[in-house]
Amino acid sequence: MLKSLKKNMMLFNKKINWNLLAKYVAGEANVEEAGAIKAWAAKNSDNLALLQDVKNDWKKMDTMNARFNVDNAWDKLNDRIGAGKPADKEEPVKKQRRLLRGYFNIPMQIAASVIFLVILGLAISSVTGSLQKVEVIAALNETGKVIELPDGSMVTLNGNTKLSYTKSFGKRQRKVMLDGEAFFNVSADKSKPFRIFAGNACVKVLGTSFNVNSRKNLNQVEVYVASGVVELSEIENQNNRVVLHKGNIGLIDNKDILLENAENANSIAWKTNALTFHGTRLTEVIQVLNEMYHVKIIINDPGVDKQQISGSYQGDPLNEILEVICLQNHLSIAKSADTIYLSR
């Protein structure tokens, strides 16, 4: 039984150091070990979500351990053995207790070990089940790919984006992992808050529509709220959080959370195909175009980036938008294999 359990633990995921993970959640890891776990968790949202699951399972094990006190049980048994004995027999009774306890000490240690391993096996089984997931990937040229989650929530993926969730999604909880950018229209369910784990951010909602962008890097996640209310927080420190309302943009940059009011809906232009600029600096316009059309536009001349751009576009091709911008601002366009250059 023990060999089988250990074998399953080894086969579960050879890339995960379960001993080190256990030390970390138990608070017994040193500074270097804790740093290694944090670095592993920061690699992707799946690792962060797994770490959170293990912490939750560890809390459950602590609760069970608090209810099972071997020493206390032995003391109660010994008291019952000694009950009703005459005073002059007190020493032999104590000796009997020690002998009896010593006799069963090793078997009880083995039994406790087996119980612990069974509990650990159940915890690992729980984590294993949580890793049995469904993955949906939108290729670079698949902007606007729509999927429906089991609870009826709709998700629109930007190109080069991956969304994953467990097969048990919607039964006890609603949790998804996002790598890239997606627009969510979440079905309301107050009993099961909807959570998105992206980079080092956690987005919690009950029912609303919003955009999550974790494309820049794992330490920076942007959330734009189109309707309703959402909560944006760090995964590791959920007390560091901010509540976002319609028209708000929330940004987690490393551990700093910023709250801004969106001047327009360009944050979801990739989904709506609508672009609106009102005296917007050229650098900001280029950033939006790069993200929307998956291109690389660079300004060659210093000072050009400060020019202000105005105009509205609805589904226009990139080359037509650039032609209008260049004509209005007396700029020229040059192209290489994978880069577009703007200059005077």
Q: 280-305 burial, b if ≥16 CB within 10 A, otherwise e?
A: bebeebbebbebbbeeebebeeeebe
CA angle 283, 181, 13 (to 5 degrees): 130
| 85-104 exposure pattern, b = at least 16 Cβ within 10 A, e = fewer | eeeeeeeeeeeebeeeeeee
Rounded percentage of the chain residues whose pLDDT exceeds 70: 72
Q: What is the mean pLDDT of residues 162-178?
A: 92
Gap between the Cα atoms of 114 and 117, Å rounded? 5
pLDDT for 177 beyond 80: yes
Domain ranges of the chain: 2-131, 133-265, 273-343
Confidence band for 8, pLDDT divided at 50, 70 and 90? very low
The CATH number assigned to the domain with range 133-265 reads 2.60.120.1440
| Per-residue pLDDT band at 123 (split at 50, 70, 90) | low
Mean pLDDT score of the chain, rounded to an integer? 78
User: What is d(CA 271, CA 269) in angstroms, rounded to the nearest whole number?
Assistant: 5
**Structural Rg of the chain based on CA atoms:** 29
Is pLDDT of 6 > 50? no
* Maximum pairwise Cα distance, the chain: 110
How far is Cα 123 from Cα 113, in angstroms, rounded to an integer?
15
What per-residue confidence (pLDDT) applies to 87?
A: 47
Q: Are 297 and 288 in contact (CB under 8 A)?
A: no
Higher pLDDT, 177 or 103: 177
Q: Residue 20 — pLDDT band, cuts 50, 70, 90?
A: confident
Place of tokens 């959402």: 230
Sign of dihedral through CA atoms 33, 36, 42, 46?
A: negative
Query: What does pTM read for this prediction?
Result: 0.61
Query: What mean pLDDT comes out for the span 29-34?
Result: 84
Q: What is the model's pLDDT at position 289?
A: 92
Same fold for the pair 133-265 and 273-343: no
Stretch 311-328: mean pLDDT: 91
pLDDT tens sequence across 246-302: 989 998 887 788 888 776 668 888 888 899 998 889 998 998 998 888 899 998 887
* Calpha distance 93→99 (Å, rounded): 10
Beta bridge partners of 248: 261
Question: Into which CATH architecture does domain 273-343 fall?
Answer: 3-Layer(bab) Sandwich (3.55)
Look at residues 262, 177, 281 and name the one whose alpha carbon lies nearest to residue 223: 262
Least confident of 60-74, 97-111, 180-194: 97-111
Please give the pLDDT value at position 12: 38
Give the pLDDT score at 323.
Answer: 93
